[in-house]
Structures are given as C-alpha cells and as structure tokens.
C-alpha cells in the first residue's frame, strides 16, 4: 500500500490555491524547481497528471479529485498536530471585524483556530470600522480588526497592511454615462463610502446613492441585481463580482490600512494566539489575492480582461 507524503499534498494544494508554482514556492520556502520536482514525484506515485500546462496552469479532473481529498487529509493532520503539540488554552474572545471580511479569508482562519483550540469560545461581531473602534474603546471587544485611513491610521507598526480601494461591479452591469453614477454603499461612517463620494466629487462626476445597507449580503445583492456599483479592497471581493482597474475613467479611490486594535497588556493567552493567526492570514491574503481584472471604463461599459 502506498503512503502519500504529507509535504507533497501540501505543495500540490498550495499551487492550486495561489495559482502558480513560483508563488507556492515563495509561500512554502522552496525554489520553483523544487516545487516542480515535488509535483512530478506525486504524479509518478499516483500515475496521473495533475495539471494541464498548455495555455496556462489548469488542474485536471484527476487533480480536482485529489485536491478535495488532500484538503481534508491536511486539515485533519493539522488539527491533530495543533491539538497535541500546542499549549492547552481556554476562555472566550470577543472579536470585532469589518462587514466585508465576513466572506473572505476570515471564516477559514477562524475555523482553523477553533479546530486547534477547541476550548476557546469565539464571539464575532461585524460592523463599520469606525463603530468597531469606538466600541473597542468602551471595552466591548477583546480584539478588533478594522480599516482606517492611509497613511494616517490607528495601528501599531507591523500590525497592518495597505490595500488599494477598487471599484466593484457585476459583470452584467453597464454604466449609462448620461446618468449620475448609481452607488451601492454602506451607511455614513464607512471608509469605502467616504473614498467613493470624495473621489467622485473631486472629479466633478455626478452620482447618487441608489442603495444603502449595513449588511454585506445587502450590498452584494444590490450589486448583483444591477442597482449600481460600489468599492471594496481586493482581498474581500466576492467571486461573483469583478473590480475595475484604477486606470479607467473612474477616479482613483486611494488606499486604506487594514489592521488590529488591541491592548497587549490586557490580551488573554487565547486572544494573543488568535491575533497571531489573524496577522499571518491578513499578510498572506495581501500577498496572494485572487482577482479578475476589468479594463478601462469606456463611457458606457467595461472591457473584461482575464
């Protein structure tokens, strides 16, 4: 009976997740030739081809089957290692997060954390960043992940990343240049809303708010229904949407910082571990954001580019 080495499975799944051999090597600390050799060893061991390398990196049908199985195997392996080799930690953590991180990398990170530390109870509340920070000052949270302005912000050194704010649009939606730009936004106080309205005003481009919601689901549904366009940072972009390049006729929206608000002296051991998980996850999402690009706005439509 053959035994598949765990490192080969991890290399294979990482290549698929970050969409490249070189990117996987950077993440795993190996050279690109070493990554290629590991894939070849895995293919030879199973007598299958994992990737179609003609015309871009595409996974084969056998590769898809192995990928889903490998993810389960690796998750079980990592959970066992974490549970048996890490310190026993218990307690409860109240975490505040921005609305639009509810469906990005956060759920995966929190799931892994819960598997590694099953005795820790997580209470996660989402909201607009400015409100989260105010509630943190009132001791409503142990730890807050939020967005702030760039370059002026409230985060400690090495506790944040910088992201571009980009226009977001449903692929089937077209803008009518004869009408004010219809906007789908969060309520007042949202940093996206501030960047959107200030940029359009500065560019003398007429706009109107067609839909406002404090719910990420509401924002997504409104964009999908064709009510208007909005803005997000790329690593929070839902898969069904695309973003407009900032070199289009729409104005640039600037940058934001994403980071953490906490008091190191008052963090519990459980909260400190969660902070470390979130720091690493945030930096990894910055390095390998999955996205589809859209070409310049030509007056009444966007040109989709892959």
pLDDT tens across 123-158, in order? 999 888 999 999 999 999 999 999 998 888 878 777
Specify the domain boundaries for CATH 1.10.10.10 within the chain. Answer: 6-85
More confident: 92 or 116:
92
pLDDT at residue number 170: 85
Statement: residue 184 has pLDDT above 80:
yes
pLDDT at residue number 17: 83
Specify the domain boundaries for CATH 3.40.190.10 within the chain. Answer: 91-153+256-287, 164-255+292-304
User: Which homologous superfamily is 91-153+256-287 in?
Assistant: Periplasmic binding protein-like II (3.40.190.10)
Helix or strand run (H / E) with residue 163: strand 160-169
What tokens appear for 236 in the block? 């929070």
3.30.830.10, 3.40.50.11030, 1.20.1560.10, 1.10.10.10: which CATH number matches 6-85? Answer: 1.10.10.10
Is residue 264 within 8 Å of 242, Cβ to Cβ?
no
Say what the pTM is: 0.66
pLDDT at residue number 247: 40
pLDDT at residue number 248: 59
Predicted confidence (pLDDT) per residue in 46-73, tens digit: 999 999 877 667 899 999 999 999 999 9
3.40.50.150, 3.40.190.10, 3.40.50.970, 3.40.50.720: which CATH number matches 164-255+292-304? Answer: 3.40.190.10
3-state secondary structure 126-182: EECHHHHHHHHHCCCCCEEEEEEECCCCCCCCCCEEEEEEEEEECCCCCCCCCCCEE
Percent of the chain with pLDDT over 90: 37
10-14, 79-83, 162-166, 218-222: range with lowest mean pLDDT: 79-83
Question: What is the phi-psi region of residue 254: left when phi exceeds 0, alpha when psi lies from -120 to 50, beta otherwise?
Answer: left
């Amino acid at each position: 009976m053959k035994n598949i080495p765990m490192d080969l499975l991890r290399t294979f799944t990482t290549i698929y997740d970050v969409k490249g051999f070189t990117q996987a090597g950077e993440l795993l600390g190996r050279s690109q030739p070493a990554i290629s050799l590991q894939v070849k060893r895995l293919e030879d061991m199973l007598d299958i081809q994992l990737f179609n390398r003609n015309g871009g990196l595409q996974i084969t049908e056998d590769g898809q089957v192995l990928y889903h199985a490998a993810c389960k195997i690796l998750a079980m392996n990592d959970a066992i290692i974490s549970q048996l080799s890490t310190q026993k930690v218990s307690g409860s953590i109240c975490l505040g997060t921005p609305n639009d991180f509810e469906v990005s990398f956060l759920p995966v990170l929190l799931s892994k954390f819960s598997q590694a530390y099953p005795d820790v109870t997580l209470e996660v509340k989402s909201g607009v960043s400015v409100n989260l920070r105010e509630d943190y000052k009132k001791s409503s949270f142990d730890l807050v992940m939020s967005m702030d302005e760039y370059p002026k912000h409230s985060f400690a050194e090495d506790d944040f990343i910088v992201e571009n704010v980009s226009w977001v649009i449903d692929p089937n939606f077209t803008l009518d240049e004869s009408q004010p730009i219809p906007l789908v936004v969060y309520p007042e106080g949202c940093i996206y809303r501030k960047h959107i309205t200030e940029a359009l005003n500065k560019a003398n481009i007429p706009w109107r708010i067609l839909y406002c919601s404090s719910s990420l689901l509401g924002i997504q549904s409104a964009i999908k229904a064709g009510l208007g366009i909005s803005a997000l940072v790329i690593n929070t972009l839902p898969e069904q949407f695309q973003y407009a390049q900032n070199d289009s006729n729409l104005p640039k929206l600037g940058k934001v910082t994403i980071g953490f608000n906490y008091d190191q002296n008052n963090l519990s051991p459980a909260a400190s571990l969660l902070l470390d998980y979130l720091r690493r996850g945030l930096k990894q999402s910055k390095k390998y954001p999955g996205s589809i690009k859209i070409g310049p706005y030509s007056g009444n439509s966007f040109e989709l580019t892959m």
